[in-house]
Amino acid sequence: MNVSEHVPAVSGVLSVVALALVFAAALQAIPQSLLPRAPDAVLAAIPHVNAVVSATAIGTIVVGVRAIRRGDVARHRAAMLSTTGLFALFLVAYLYRVALLGPSDFSGPPLVEGVIYPGILAVHIVLAVVCVPLVIYVLLLALTRSVPELRETRHPTVGRVAAALWLISFTLGIVVYLMLYVLF
């Protein structure tokens, strides 16, 4: 099958597979016996490393957006591929930890625990889930088209939406991290 002729369909299939893995890990449906157990110190470090990864991803998204606005396609491509790699690293580390330990408990004040934290977390999760198919779609377009051809696709439009949602999701992820591990 020629992927370039079926980008929406391939994006859909890859998105379903990726999100199924995400939800299986997040809901602890993957048997722990299938996962090697890292030392407790490594598991404890994952949220802190992921906060740094998220901040770095915010930087690479901004670099990528600015590069394409200036017409620097090579820098845009490098930045967005870097962001995709950072997103994958974040996701693998996060899902590995949550598959083994479950989600982190929030121990902040009742008002924050009952209203503010769940709202921020929900928006972060929804945007992260929405980003998966958008990112896969624009990535497949970028990998299967030349630059002149790419301009004639939905890559620029969907890419702008994906970048904006990614920025918000990564930023809210850092806010969630701060609420879980720094502020409370």
Q: Is the pLDDT assigned to residue 179 strictly greater than 90?
A: yes
The per-residue pLDDT for range 3-53, each reduced to its tens digit, is 889 999 999 999 999 999 999 998 999 998 999 999 999 999 999 999 999
The per-residue pLDDT for range 154-174, each reduced to its tens digit, is 999 999 999 999 999 999 999
Mean pLDDT confidence for 55-77: 98
- Structure token digits, residue 125: 């999760």
- Res. 178 pLDDT band, cuts 50 70 90: very high
The per-residue pLDDT for range 130-151, each reduced to its tens digit, is 999 999 999 999 999 999 999 9
Q: Where are the beta strands (DSSP E) in the chain?
A: none
The per-residue pLDDT for range 83-142, each reduced to its tens digit, is 999 999 999 999 999 999 999 999 899 999 999 999 999 999 999 999 999 999 999 999
What is the predicted pLDDT for the residue at 1?
Answer: 73
Q: How many helices (H) and strands (E) does the chain have?
A: 7, 0
Q: Is 153 exposed, middle or buried (0-12, 13-18, 19+ CB in 10 A)?
A: middle
User: Domains in the chain and their CATH numbers?
Assistant: 3-182 (1.20.120)
What are the b/e assignments for 174-183, b being 16+ CB within 10 Å?
bbbbebbeee
pTM for the complete prediction?
Answer: 0.91
Residue 129 to residues 14, 117, 169: CA-CA distances in angstroms?
Answer: 13, 18, 9
